[in-house]
């Protein structure tokens, strides 16, 4: 791989896979995958799976909170 490749999840660009020797470096461009920023993967496909899995796990956590009665919105103290 010689050029960066855009990583999309559900049709939304979330990161770039940048060449890093014989691996690819995950460069997050959306907050949804910020936790993966800088990680190294063996292939673009592996980085894509990691992004999709990470977003799915974040969605599952949000659903658990909303189903348990916790608000997933932001609260502001004044």
pTM: 0.74
- Lay out the sheet containing 5-9: strands in order across: 5-9, 12-20, 23-28, 40-41
pLDDT digits 0-9 by tens, 15-56: 999 999 999 999 999 999 999 999 999 999 999 999 999 999
pLDDT digits 0-9 by tens, 63-76: 544 444 545 555 45
**Residue ranges covered by each domain of the chain:** 5-67
The model's confidence at residue 77, banded by pLDDT at 50, 70 and 90, is low
């Amino acid at each position: 791989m010689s050029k960066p490749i855009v990583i999309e999840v559900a049709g939304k660009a979330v990161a770039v896979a940048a060449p890093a020797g014989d691996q690819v470096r995950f460069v997050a461009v959306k907050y949804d995958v910020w936790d993966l920023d800088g990680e190294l993967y063996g292939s673009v496909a592996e980085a894509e799976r990691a992004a999709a899995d990470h977003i799915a796990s974040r969605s599952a956590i949000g659903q658990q909170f909303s189903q348990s009665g916790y608000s997933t919105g932001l609260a502001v103290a004044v």
